[in-house]
Structure 1
Amino acid sequence: MPQRHPAPRPGRAPARPASAPKDPTDMLRGILELNRADADPLTGQPRFTGTTPRQAHGRVFGGQVLAQALAAASRTISADRAVHSIHGYFIRPGDALQPITFTVETLRDGRSFSVRRVLATQNEKAILALTCSFQEPAEAALDHQVAMPEGVPAPEELPSTADVLGRINHPIAQEWAWARPFDIRHVTPAIYVDPAPEAENRNMVWMKTFTPLADDPALHVAALTYASDYTLLEPVLRQHGVAWIQPGMSVASLDHAMWFHRPARADEWLLYVQHSPSAQGARGLGTGSVFTRDGTLVATVAQEGMIRMPEGAAARRARLQGAAQRFALRTVLRRSWRR
């Protein structure tokens, strides 16, 4: 039987804090508006700079630097060539307090395809290397796609991240609840606090920006790239009964690839269907398919992440600490619903 969200408890929805942005999607618009910088003094390659909004944990969100790198590459491409794939490696954690420089190298401009390589740096050290390929429009000689899963609840029937985390007075919970530019709704109960009740290597979320974006296809592709990094490792955690608040766990994205099949708007609901085919050697692999609401497959995603768990005595302490954390959080949530 599929997991279901618990029935709503009596009480009001969590109130938006006064400090929360009125439109979180404005943050996304801001980070994708890159500034042109001086060309590289040695190679003459074009460079752009981007900023990072305030982050509770101090590190740059991986989806952000991916989206900015793609936006930088798109600034060097003719508007009639759309991106069809990206392949990136995360090299170092990014510092949210420092600007990021994106240097774009032209690898090829052919009759139908253009290829760019983007190096994202902070303080002259690489944090991301991204290769992306663009294609002129072509006739569809062959066309097929996998089907979207059937019987998936509509996003309007599911709780938002604010519904799940908005009452937890912790900076990361508050940031995820109120400051992320995308509305994320889990089809089965989210594993922010509690692990999945049943082991399964599958995860599904609906997602879209909170407010409409401009009618620019490159903007929507960059926005989708940003959102694709939110939950892609959750199938690994679900399979092993692990929640995001697991004490002692260390998670980091290692690489990220996307193939863009058909156009879509990131400000309309998209279903992100994710699986994990394997986890081993402190690494877990997540794959995903993105569908429009009418069932059109628009993108395929793959990411490998480092997932390190505590061992030995540290693991035993982590289990006790995790149980205490979950009990405390459930107590807070129950009290907040009674008010």
Structure 2
Amino acid sequence: MADRPTLLRPPPDDPKKAPIENVLDVTELAVLGPNIFTNARKPWHPPGARGIFGGAVIAMCLAAAQRTVASDFLVHSCHCYFLLAGSSELPILFHVEQVRDGRSFATRTVQARQRGRCIFTTTISFVRDSSSATSSSGSSSSGGGATVVSHTSELPRGEDGNPLQPPPDDFADEPEVMAGGPFQGTKIEMVNRESAKPGDKKTQQWIRARGKITGGLPAHLEALAYVSDSYFIGTITRIHKLWRFPFRADDLDRLPEPVRAKVRTLHQWEGMGEDPGEMVGRPAIGMMVSLDHTIYFHEPTKVRADEWMLAEMESPWAGDGRAVVMQKIFSKDGTLLATCVQEGLVRLQQPAPDRKEAKL
């Protein structure tokens, strides 16, 4: 396989599509065999990350799998494992296996491969749309005469006791350093910031895809899958107040002012507090890697990823070098669209050993 980001020449971005649709575009490679797809464009490699952005791989696997099921089947769950760091300089092949096609459910497994090695695998389950026509509408239906079991979490409330409100449609308060990706978001807010128990804290952020998604419901679902990996395992750095930059917190004042300004902006925007100087003496992240990722799509027909959605994250457990984070994604009208779970490897930076003079 050639050392280039795509097998085929990348097409020009389609201005009629939202940026996220161009990012997640996959192409079928029937010449190689049935149900084999590849990325149309070079995937994003976040600065400082070991590999490409995991959300892109999740979403492109979903895009490939959705191409192999009937149009009246909708994704309701994805169970994913990150196996190897993906390279942004090599094309990805997505191998879809049609595990089962039933009357109500269909199952697909997808392997993402580079140079013959599986870097990511997922099992995706689809449900026929008609089977969820009487799904939850908000109230419990467990009383007499009920035909379905139904309940749902409500949109979180603010300090005033009212449901949180999305930003205005013309929101443009992002700092320049955050304004380049296919998704737009607000500053991350921390709930119960002063609690001594990290498990009591939650982060909240409004997010939406830039532009207008034109590819129909499948494109909205792929976009949600992509953004579900944003800031996910990184929640641990916020609730434990861990330093995440590749230099010591007490070295910040020695850096050039443009670098200090960028760090201050990122620190504040990610909900860590106003002053990064408060992080001096705090533990620092040595390694943080996603291990697995699960998405439950509760109301797939209601997903509109180019409209404001609220992502709320919390962690019920961390230990033994791993941590688990749970995420709820709500639409702006309060519908619980999806619940996501991620486990990641979390290792702290170890103090440098004391240097001792060698004995002669």
Q: Same fold (TM over 0.5)?
A: yes
- Check whether the contact 1:39–1:46 (CA below 8 A) recurs between aligned residues: no
Matches within 5 A, 1:6-25: none
Distance 1:101 1:292, change over 3 A: same
Equivalence for 2:121: 129
Matched, 1:261 2:298: yes
Does the aligned pair in 2 maintain the 1:86–1:131 contact within 8 Å? yes
SS in structure 2 at match of 1:64: helix
Q: 1:219 corresponds to which residue? A: 219
Tell me if 1:30 matches 2:22: yes
What is the DSSP-based 3-state SS (H/G/I as helix, E as strand, rest coil) of the residue aligned with 1:291?
A: strand
Residue 91 of structure 1 aligns with which residue?
83
- Residue 237 of structure 1 aligns with which residue? 237
- Which residue of structure 1 lines up, in the alignment, with residue 3 of structure 2? none
1:187 deviates by 4.2
Which has the higher mean CA deviation after the structures are superposed, 215-224 or 148-157? Answer: 148-157
Q: Secondary structure at the match of 1:231?
A: coil
Aligned counterpart, 2:167? 155
Aligned-residue CA RMSD in angstroms?
Answer: 2.8
Say which SS state the counterpart of residue 37 (structure 2) adopts: strand
Q: Does structure 1 conserve the Cα–Cα contact (< 8 Å) formed by 2:315 and 2:324?
A: yes
Counterpart-to-counterpart distance in 1, 2:343 and 2:244: 17
Alignment match of 1:306 (pick from 345, 348, 355): 345
Describe the SS at the equivalent of 2:186. strand
Residue 312 of structure 1 aligns to a residue in which SS? coil
SS of structure 2 residue aligned to 1:236: helix
Q: Secondary structure at the match of 2:314?
A: strand
The 3-state SS of whatever aligns with 2:352 is helix
Amino acid at match of 1:132: I
Check if 1:114 corresponds to 2:106.
Answer: yes
TM-score normalized with structure 1 length: 0.74
Q: Provide the residue aligned with 1:204 in structure 2.
A: 204
SS for the counterpart of 1:232 is coil
Distance 1:121 1:224 in 2: 23
Q: CA deviation at 1:154?
A: 3.5
Q: Compared with structure 1, are the counterparts of its residues 26 and 292 closer, same or farther at alpha carbon in structure 2 (3 Å cutoff)?
A: closer
Give the C-alpha shift of residue 157 in structure 1.
11
Partner of 2:151: 144
Cα distance between partner residues in 2 of 1:112 and 1:54: 36
What SS does the corresponding residue of 1:203 show, helix, strand or coil? strand
Report Cα offsets for 1:184-208 as digits up to 9, x if no partner: 2134279xxxxx7766431111100
Give the corresponding residue for 1:274.
Answer: 313
Which sits farther off after the overlay, 52-61 or 128-137? Answer: 52-61
Post-superposition shift, 1:117?
Answer: 0.2
Comparing 103-112 with 136-145, greater Cα deviation is found at 136-145
Distance 1:309 1:246, change over 3 A: farther
Distance 1:155 1:119, change over 3 A: same
CA distance in 2, matches of 1:34, 1:302: 26
Q: Which consecutive residues of structure 1, in runs of 5 or more, have no partner in the other structure?
A: 1-20, 167-173, 191-195, 316-339
Distance 1:234 1:157, change over 3 A: farther
Match of 1:18 in 2: none
223-232 or 29-38, which deviates more: 29-38
Native 8 Å contact 2:174 2:186 kept in 1: no
**Bigger CA drift: 27-36 or 95-104?**
27-36
CA contact (8 A) 1:276 1:284 kept: yes
How far apart in 1 are the matches of 2:236 and 2:187?
A: 15
Q: Which residue of 1 aligns with 2:55?
A: 63
Structure 1 residue identity aligned to 2:153: V
- Given that 2:286 and 2:350 are in contact with CA atoms closer than 8 Å, whether structure 1 keeps it comes out as no
- SS, match of residue 21 in structure 2: helix
Unpaired segments ≥5 residues, structure 2: 1-12, 135-147, 159-163, 248-284, 355-360
Q: Report the CA distance shift for 1:244/1:210 in structure 2 as closer, same or farther (over 3 A).
A: farther
Superposition deviation, residue 283 in structure 1: 1.1
Please identify the structure whose Cα radius of gyration is greater: 2
Q: Give distance in 1, aligned partners of 2:295 and 2:60.
A: 15
Structure-2 change in CA distance of 1:295 and 1:246 (3 Å): farther
- Give the distance between the partners of 1:314 and 1:114, measured in 2 at CA: 54
TM-score (norm 2): 0.70
Counterparts of 2:204 and 2:172, CA distance in 1: 13
Q: Partner letter of residue 292 of structure 2? A: D
User: Separation in 1 of the partners of 2:81 and 2:31?
Assistant: 23
Q: 1:92 to 1:79 in 2, by over 3 A?
A: same
CA distance 1:107–1:53, change in 2 (3 Å): closer
2:278 corresponds to: none
Equivalent in the alignment of 1:183: 184
Are the equivalent residues in 2 in contact too, given 1:52–1:96 (CA < 8 A)? yes
CA-CA distance at 1:249 after TM superposition = 2.4
Q: How far apart, CA to CA, are the structure 2 residues paired with 1:237 and 1:117?
A: 32
